[in-house]
Structure 1
Amino acid sequence: MPAPPPPSVSRSGAETAWDSDDSAPDRRLGRRAVLGLIPLAALGAASGCGLRWERGAPQLPIVPSARAYPGAAALRTELAASRSAHAAAQAWSVAGGPVLSRVLLRVHGEQIAALIARLESVSEPVPPAESGTAATSPSGSPTASPSGRSEDDARARLLEAEAAGLREVDALAAAPAADRALLAGCLVTRAQAARLLGAGALQAPRRPAAGSVEQAVDLLATVRPVVYGLEVATARVVVAGGERAQVARASLDAARRQRQFLEQQAGNTAPAAPLGYVLDDPVDTPADAAKLAHRLLTDLADAHVRAVAAAPPTSADTPGAAPQVVASLLSWAREAEWWRGQWGAGPRALGVA
Structure 2
Amino acid sequence: MNVTQTSFTLRALRKPDDYPGAARVLTAANPEWPVTPDLLAVWDGARDPALFYTEAVAEAGGQVVGAGGIGHDDFAFEEWRYWGNLAVHPDARGRGIGSALYDTLLERVRARGAREVRTMLTDAPHHDPGRAFLERRGFCVSWERYESRLNTAEVDLGSLGGLLDRVQSEGLELRSVAELADDPERDRRLWELDWLLFQDVPMGSALTKRPFEAWVRQEVEDPTFAPELSFVALRPGLDDPLTGPYVAYTTLMQTPGGPYVIGMTGVRRGDRGRGVAKALKVAAMRALAGRGGGEIRTMNDKPNAAMLEMNRALGFKRGPTHFRYELHLGGGA
Task: Report 1 or 2 for greater relative contact order, CA contacts < 8 Å, sequence distance ≥ 6.
Answer: 2
Q: TM-score, normalised by structure 2?
A: 0.26
**Larger helix proportion of the pair:** 1
Report the structure number with the largest CA radius of gyration: 1
